[in-house]
Chain A
Amino acid sequence: EVQLVESGGGLVQPGGFLRLSCAASGFTFSTYSMNWVRQAPGKGLQWISYIRSGATASFYADSVKGRFTISRDDTRNSLYLYMNSLTAEDTAIYYCTTESEGGSYSPYWGQGALVTVSS
């Protein structure tokens, strides 16, 4: 059974830093591209970052580019999101998702990690 478990969320002050982790199991993590998607309270879904299998490419939404960094550790079956210079607009639930073997849609999602940016 595929499982994605996010951790590392919490309360952080504006301008602060946080690292999110996503522990993957139930599939061959190293062969799948991964994404981070966030959802502000009461709002819709926003894709924020992608990392290809093998970490050969990564992409970011304009709203986080230069502040967030996605990475993966295939030896630990883990995905990470390093978030710098956080603002209130980054307050959201952050989901990690897998892509499918056949395409870049997301059949599996974690339960999410809540990040709250507030003083």
Chain B
Amino acid sequence: DIVMTQSPDSLAVSLGERATINCKSSESVLYSSNNKNYLAWYQQKPGQPPKLLIYWASTRESGVPDRFSGSGSGTDFTLTISSLQAEDVAVYYCQQYYSTHYSFGQGTKLEI
């Protein structure tokens, strides 16, 4: 199974500053036939289900603010929040959907 590892486990960032969360997969999640990375990012706030932010590693879900961006390819990926807002406090998860056994990273807790 593909293991997803996020770093850091927790992160404190000031309002208006940039937040960067990393995700590394144990195998490449880049599908060569379509050149797509099978990698998604989710945001989870306390007491709520996860919310899809990014898919195909860099495509923002409809309605997600453009301060959220995803990058990377192969095995190394990054979620960036360009200017942290108070409502961005949450736990963030990466997920690979390349293999039939989907897997999530352990989560990164983002605080102010």
A positions within 8 Å CB-CB of B: 35, 44-47, 50, 59, 61-62, 95, 100, 103-107, 109-112
- Asked if A47 and B55 sit within 8 Å, CB to CB, the answer is no
* 15 additional contacts (CB under 8 A) given A46-B104, A103-B97, A106-B50: A44-B106, A44-B107, A45-B93, A45-B95, A47-B103, A50-B100, A61-B101, A95-B49, A95-B50, A100-B55, A103-B36, A103-B55, A105-B55, A106-B40, A106-B52
Chain B, interface residues (CB within 8 Å), range: 20 to 34
Q: Which 7 A-B pairs have the closest CB atoms?
A: A104-B97, A109-B49, A105-B40, A47-B102, A105-B55, A45-B104, A44-B107
Number of A-B contacts (CB under 8 A): 55
B38 at the A interface (CB under 8 A): yes
B positions within 8 Å CB-CB of A: 1, 36, 38, 40, 42, 44, 49-52, 55-56, 61, 91, 93, 95, 97, 100-107
Residues of A near B93 (CB, < 8 A) are 44-45
Residues of A near B103 (CB, < 8 A) are 47
Q: Please, how many angstroms separate the alpha-carbon atoms of A59 and B89 in the complex?
A: 33
| Residue on A nearest B6 in the bound complex, by CB | A44
| Residue on B nearest A60 in the bound complex, by CB | B101
Q: Please, how many angstroms separate the alpha-carbon atoms of A44 and B52 in the complex?
A: 15
